[in-house]
Every structure is written in structure tokens, then in C-alpha cells.
Structure 1
Amino acid sequence: MTRALDRISKGVETLSAMEPPAPEPVDDGSAEEIARLSAALEDEQMANAQLEARVKSLHDQIEAQPETPEAPEPDAALQEQIAAQREGMQALDGELQRLRQANDALLKSCTEMREALAENLGEPHLINQAMLAELEALRAARVVEVAEARAVLGALEPVLAQAAGEEEAAQ
């Protein structure tokens, strides 16, 4: 890579050392060349003006087109399905909150029981409290599983119904 950079810098030095070519002397044919180039410039200016007019007319046509139509009203069945899914998700969230609270209570109860056992105190009410907290956590976990299953079924039912309708239509 270094060698390549060295070659490039030597090439640049060589080019900069060379004298620029002298301009060609103006001869009598240059007037004809200027006239030809002026005519070509006028042609290009006219073409440019035509293109600008065309672009302006296209912009006018776009602006003259009616506004895009408003979105159609959503399907009532779809709205009902979305509402049912929202309700299912809210129920699932509520049950998850209940599970978290039950697990927190179980953790607290286990900590208290562990502390009592460390002090060689056998507290029967702590054992009962831990068992009740564990039962509540198991119940909450079961309810969460049911809510999750309902949410999955709620999402699958419309898809399965649509697939069954398409299958019947194909037959």
C-alpha cells in the first residue's frame, strides 16, 4: 500500500512539473465555430424551456387531481375481533399481576420462615402462611396459563375460520 502511495505522489509531482499546453491560436474558423455553438446553445435553451413548460403542466395536473379518497370504514367483524383480543390481553395482564403478587408473598413468607429456622424457632403460623402463599401462587399460575391459552385461541379462531371459509369456497 505504501508503494502504491509513493507511485501516486511521484506521478503527481511529474504532472505538476510539466508545463500546461499553450492555447491554440485563434484563426478565422473560430467565428464559424462561435456561430455554430451559439445556434446549439439557442436550441438547448429552447429545449430546456419546453421541458420546464412540460414539468409545470405535469405539476398542474397533479395538483388538479382530486384528493385521495378517505380510508374506508373498518370492518365491523375486524373491530369486534380486535376488541376481543384487547380484552383477552387485559385479562392476561391482570392475572399476571396477581401471579406476581402471589410470588412476592411467597418469597416474603419463605424469607420469614428461613429467618425463624435460623433462630431455631419453629413458628407454625409461618408454615401455614408459606403454604397459603404457595397455594395462591399455584392458583395464580394456573389462571395465567388459562388466560394465555384463551389469548392464543382468540387469535387463532379468526384465522382458522377464514381458512375454513376459503376451503369451502374452493370446493
Structure 2
Amino acid sequence: MQELEELERRISAALERIGAGIDAIPTMPAENPLQAALEEERMVNAQLAERLKAVKDRDASRIGALEEQVEALTRHLDVQGLELQRMKKTTGHLREALRSLREAQAEGVADPQLLNRSMVVELEALRAARAAETAEVEEILTALEPLIAEGRQDA
């Protein structure tokens, strides 16, 4: 039992010495220059991260708009290519019909079916030309839309 009391006394004395030692340690001032510099760097880093995020968001929206514009122009180009092929095909038919008409005229023969076929081919050529012009006008309008929208925003 005496040993237990002795151990308690020794532990209490050791705890008092530890407490006195802790009290003797000088406390760090609240305004540590190194800590303040670290906090300032953290703040600057956070601001730069926010700016970078804003730039990335803006660039992403611009890239998206440019991709949409490229897709629209590609569609218009595809339509124009198809219309050009149609016009070439129709022009070939028209040349053939005109050659047949010239031959019939040279022989002095008036063939009503040949005239009808020539008229149908010529009408198809006019339709192909109109479709090509329509595709070209649509392409021009697509190119002008961003400029018009920009002009409205400036006004």
C-alpha cells in the first residue's frame, strides 16, 4: 500500500513538472510573418485557380460555338456538293437532249416525245440550279447570323 502511495506521489510530482514546463514554453505570437505569407499565398493561389476556371469555362463555350458553326458549314457544304452533282447530271442529260433535238432538226423530223423529254430535262436543270442557289443563300445567311447577333449586342 505504501508503494502505491509512493507511486501516486511520484506521478503527481511528474505531472506538476510537465505542467510547469508547458507554461514555461513561450507562445507564438498571433501574427507570425511566415504564417501571414503562407495565408497570402493561399489566397493568391485560390484567386488564380478561380481565374483559370473562368478562362476555361469561357474557352469551352467558345469552342462549343465554333464546333457548332463548323458542323453547320459542313452540312451546307454537303448540301451544295449534292446540288452540284445533281446539276452536273442534269447538265449531261440536257446536252444529250439538245444533241437529239439538233439531229432531229437536221433530219427535218419533229418528234413530240423528243421535245417533251427535252423540256423535262430543261425543267430539271432549272430546279437543280434553284436548289444550288438556295443552298448558297442558306450558307451566306448562316455566315451572317453571328455578325447580325453581334451587331444587335453592340447596339
| Cα root mean square deviation, aligned | 1.7
Partners of 1:100 and 1:165 lie apart in 2 by 43
Alignment of 1:1-150 (within 5 A): 75-150=63-138
1:136 Cα deviation from its structure 2 partner:
0.2
Partners of 1:75 and 1:159 lie apart in 2 by 17
**Residue type at the aligned position of 1:124:** P
For 2:139, what is the secondary structure of its paired residue?
Answer: helix
| TM-score normalised by the chain length of structure 2 | 0.58
Structure number with the higher helix fraction is 2
State the percentage of identical aligned residues.
39
For 1:121, what is the secondary structure of its paired residue?
Answer: coil
| TM-score normalised by the chain length of structure 1 | 0.53
CA shift digits 1:72-121 (9 cap, x unpaired): 65610111011101111110111121112111111110101110111112
Runs of 4+ in 1 over 4 A off after TM superposition: none
The corresponding residue for 2:12 is none
For 1:75, what is the secondary structure of its paired residue?
Answer: helix
The corresponding residue for 1:55 is none
Partners of 1:163 and 1:96 lie apart in 2 by 33
**Which blocks of at least 5 consecutive residues in structure 2 are unaligned?**
1-58
